[in-house]
Every structure is written in structure tokens, then in C-alpha cells.
Amino acid sequence: MFNEIISKTKLQVRRECQFFGALMLFASIKESKKIDTACTDGKDIFFNQSFLESLSSSEQNALMLHEVLHIALLHVQRRQSRDPMIWNIAADIVVNDLILRNTTFKLPKDAIINYSYKDKSVEYIYEALLKKNKYKKYSLHISDLGQSASEFSEEEEQEIAGYWKDKIQVLKNSDLGDENSSQGNLPAGMSQEIEVILEPEVDWRHALWRYVGKTPADFDDLDRRFLYRGLYLEGLLTEALEVSVCIDTSGSISVNLLDQFLGELKGILRSYPHVKCDLFFADSEVDGPYEIHSIEELPPVTGFGGTSFVPFFNYLKKNDNNLMGSNKVSIYFTDGYGDFPSQTPKDPTMWLVCKDGLETNMFPFGEVIRISTESWR
């Protein structure tokens, strides 16, 4: 009976949305008497057969798709150290919205729905729910995301994530999406979630090279914003780039992460000796600038309070005495959690963000580079 329900549901989901139907084919779905309803550990999906049989056919379809979306969108892996219950609520809001917008299935009783978070990622909704304890108005009747620490090794977690990223990338590039959707080949509402899990990791050295190229062959990669400011190639060849580097030293930055940020700063100084580098430390206040010429000149770290990006950018704006066209860029090492300035800075900004930091679409300006632990070794 269980396998019959699974087979029927896969067929029904495919009829409603081919993209979701294809995801169903890649999922591992198992029966379990150890649970009361349904859940996933991030690798497999488990259902209690008796509970599944108590639902209508439409509710069965919705619930099974609900769990498949959790696993395909890596909701267990993306939780990191966040509160499991609040994260589960945020993830449920996302997947239930996807189901309602792309199928005619009926969600089970007490399913969590909030239309005000349309087209938002789980990370965004989680942060929104934390504000003023908004999550307290929800009752999580089915806690279906693994609540304990992962049972899988780091290598296994990477393998699981890689498996689903590959599948989604293939489907994203296929013609299985909604032709009427504004999001191309993706079902309505999927773009933000897809952006989070498929976001490529970029070596900051390659990104920074666009600003500091020293030979004519490198000019094809330069940021075109410089041309709009009247820069000439001769100037780029002869003038040193002015880089303002700010390191987030707020309380949310661990000692290990701070060491990694400092390691990246040393990498900049080694790789680009012609760069004029002003160093700042910032939590809710800014400390600096310290003009740095070599890795031996790094000052003692200060900070460890709250987080605000405003003081650093206010300092740059207040002390900008250079003429239009100066070859300048700001680099901010951070986890991304803090208050942003209301206005976009004049000069380009690169955010070098740790892998589990704030999602890219929540940065109001600048280029976000997701740096991984591999680049810190």
C-alpha cells in the first residue's frame, strides 16, 4: 500500500508541475514506524504509513512534495546553528508557498502559511521571524526537519549537497519549468531558494584582480564602473589602487573566523604589494585607519561589540577628499549580520562573506564574494 501511494503521488505531482515531478524521482522515500507523521534527515524522507493513509489523496500529494522540497532545497544542511524550531517554521512557509503557487494540492490541516513572505528565502524569513518574536504566533504541528546534530560526516554532507545541487542545476537549465513564469524555467517562487543553494564560491583574488590589473591584457576584466568615472588606462597602469579594508570584529565573529579574515588580509598584502591599504576594525564603531604596507604591520584587533556597517562607510564618505575618478575600492570581511547604510557608497564595495553568512540577496549594494574554508588554508 505504501509503495502504491508513493507511485501515485509521483504521477500526480508530475502532472501538476514537471519540475517538481522530476525532483520527486531523485528523492529517497522510506516507510518508518519510528515517527508519527513525516520527516527528513536531509538525506532520506520518512513517512508513517498509518498517518499517510489518514490523509486525502490531495493532502498526500502536498505532504510528500513538501518533504521533497525540504530535502532538495537543502533545508537541513542550510540550518547551520540556527534555532531548529524557528528554522523549521521558516522552511515550511517557503515550501508551502511553492506548493500553493504551482499546484492545486490541498495542504494538510494546520499547515503554516504566510503570504507576506512571497519570493523570500528561508534565511530571510528566519531573520524576520526572530524580530519581535514573530515566530511565537505559529504552532509547529509537524516538526519534520532533523532536530539533532547531523548524523552525517562533513564528507557525506558535501556529497548530499552536491547531489541535489547537480539535479537542480540540470532541471534549471531544462525546459521543465513554467513557461508563463517570470523566473524562466523555474516554478513560481523558486528563484530565491535556487540562488542560495547554487551560489558559486569565488576566489576573492580573481574578483579583486578586476580592480588591480597592471597590464593591458587585463583591462577586459576591469569593472566598467571605473570607465564611467573617467579613468584612463594610463592611470591604471601607473597609480596604485587605494583599498580600504574593514574587518568585522563584532561579537558574532568567532576567534577562528577572525583569524581567517586576518589570513585573507595577509593574502591581499602578499599578492598586491603595490596596493595602498588602509585597515579598519569595526563592530558598532569603527577603529582606524591604519595604513598597512606589509603583513608585519598589522595592529592589535579591537572590537567585539554589536554590529553596524554604517560607521565604516560614514568615515569613508566624510574623509573622501579625492577627485572623481580615484582608483578606490572597499573590502569588508564579515558574516553579513548587521545594520547597513541607507545610501550606496560612491566607490565599489566587495563583501567577503563567510560561507554560512548572510544570504547574497540581502546585501543592499556591492559585490558579494562567498569565501570558503578552502580559500583560507
Q: Where are the domains of the chain?
A: 2-198, 204-376
Superfamily (CATH H level) for 204-376 = von Willebrand factor, type A domain (3.40.50.410)
Q: Is the pLDDT of residue 72 over 60?
A: yes
* pLDDT recorded at residue 34: 92
Q: What does the angle CA 302 – CA 308 – CA 309 come to, to the nearest 5 degrees? A: 95
Dist. CA 295–CA 266, nearest whole Å: 6
Close Cβ partners of 221 (under 8 Å, ≥ 6 residues apart): 209, 210, 213
More confident residue, 188 or 210: 188
Q: What is the mean pLDDT of residues 127-150?
A: 75
* Most confidently predicted of 37-41, 124-128, 204-208, 257-261: 37-41
- Tell me the three cell numbers of residue 78: 542550510
What Cα–Cα distance (Å) separates residue 302 from each residue in 109, 206, 278?
52, 29, 15
Please provide the average confidence, as pLDDT, over all residues in the chain.
Answer: 80
27-45 tens-digit pLDDT: 999 999 999 999 999 999 9
- pLDDT tens sequence across 298-335: 778 877 788 899 999 999 999 876 544 457 889 999 98
Alpha helices, DSSP H, located in the chain:
2-16, 18-26, 49-53, 57-72, 75-78, 84-102, 122-130, 154-172, 191-198, 204-212, 225-228, 233-238, 255-271, 310-318
Rounded CA separation 367/199 (Å): 13
Neighbours of 167 (CB within 10 A): 16
Cα angle 296, 300, 302; round to 5: 145
